[in-house]
Amino acid sequence: MAKLYFKYGAMGSSKTAQALMCKFNYEQKGFKVFLFKSQIDNRKIRNGKGLVHSRIGLESECVEFGKLFSFKAYFNNLKFDQGKSVIIVDECQFLTKEQVDELKDISLQMPVLCYGLLTNFKTELFEGSKRLVELAESLTEIKSVCRCGRKATINARFVDGKIAKDGEEILIGADECYESVCYSCYKKLLN
């Protein structure tokens, strides 16, 4: 069904793997899948093209978007069957408010599935995530587990082995600088 979906979770919750499995499922059913990711995450590139890559090894080439990228302009220049097409966006927390508004309009014609983080390491909403919460018809939490066994909800950033309280909102990294934890463990790490 054509609508805007937001699937969010803490780091390490398999968001990207699920996005790539979703892509495979749609392609298996004959759909054209348009896969996007933010160019902020430039760790994986193949032959000069962006690559969506999961920690478990799944990957696919994609179109990268920056802050000035227009989804409407991109799709206005393409010919495709809207009834057999779908958009999947990985790292959707890096979308701008305007880009989410464009995707919402596009979702009137075809499904738009957005996968990403809800909050940054300071426990504040990202701009793209905030707008997705405001506009998406479907919000789904992808759960992950804290070191203590509780549900992880915080993306704790570590610098030199210590939890960070301040810094730039965006620092691209994975297990080397982030750990998803529950709020209780987060408070203990802060103290």
Residue 142: exposed, middle, or buried by beta-carbon count in 10 A (0-12, 13-18, 19+)?
middle
Separation between Cα atoms, residue 61 and residue 144, nearest integer Å: 26
Annotated catalytic residue 179: no
5 neighbors 137 (Cβ within 8 angstroms): yes
**Which H helix or E strand runs over 83?**
none
Of the residues 64, 91, 102, 179, only one is catalytic, namely 91
Q: What one-character DSSP code corresponds to residue 142?
A: -
Q: Which of 121, 118, 119 is nearest to 167 (CA)?
A: 121
Q: Which residues are catalytic?
A: 91
